[in-house]
Chains A and B, each alone.
Chain A
Amino acid sequence: MKREIMIILLVALAVAAFVSPFAASSPDGLERVAEDHEFIEKAEGQEVFQAPMPDYGIPSLADSVFSGSVAGIIGTILTFVLMLGLAKTLTTGKKV
């Protein structure tokens, strides 16, 4: 794989591992609007399934400072692999 791809992937992994722990934990724009106008409770208990790493944390590492970083690294790699696979599938059998 080309050098610049590796560099940007490493930057992404570094952001997920080392910058995300410093992310602001305050509500985002939609959550803030939902709190201010009292419809946030409409989402409570409405999840239709349980994701393995809810809120970007590893449940078994819940108390660890590494929980978010590990989840971030896993997510970054998963995203890379899924997009790579999808794009490869799209071009398979394509006439050049």
Chain B
Amino acid sequence: MVEDLPDSEVKYFAYQVKQNYGYDFENYAMSSLKRRLIRILSLYHLPSIEKLLEQIDKKKLDIEEVVRQITVNTTEFFRDPTTWQFIRSQLIPNLVHKPQIDIWHTACSTGEEVITMAILLAEANVLDKAYFWATDINDKVLEQAKKSEYHIRNWDLLMENYHAYQPLYPIERYCVKHSDKFFFHKSLLKNIVYQKFDLVKDVHTEKYDIVFCRNVLIYFNQQLQNQVVDKLANCTKPRSYLVIGSKETIMWCRASERYNVLSHKEKVYQLK
């Protein structure tokens, strides 16, 4: 197994993929990206980056599948339960009176975070006027997200987080178990639009009441974090919210001046 890759190989991969397939990993955090690439080489039993690029070029490997393997798609229902408690108690009361609530999940992966937010809005009886734009860089995970069916092995973690969140209603109000899967009711999901979007290069001009960008910035270097947080701030309505991952910070970013910190612990920011 390949144990280390020279930086030059990682950069060569990023350059080639950008030139040929339009995905830009050049400003991803180096150690993480290197680790992902080593993992991919091992997964496909390939000896080098050169061979990996060759396989993609000859269409023996699907670039979308490789992108799915590079980007981390780990997600949970109600991940960091206290963050969701904060959103329920501090953000939603400021949104319920709006005629329409617009929410952008910038890296929705397989959809757990969107469903979590939909449940919060259902609890507050405002789901009908909420509109979700759920995006991800990767088509494959979006296909999974659209199905909104989950393997039963995710159930225990859902329940653990859900209880920690201290919900108003039992989870069965929103979903049903069938054989080795569980499904969320269509009524919960009717206002969700899933779409491919690359935070690094795609442009967007709509504005939202809440923008979720949790555990995405950690994979970027500081320069790219700067650029992406600018983009997020431009897509946030005045006095509206940005939620990032619990170990992330926008304090090094120039756009941090545009925000007030609502919670250092839960990483919730409000645009000035």
Do A and B belong to a common assembly?
no
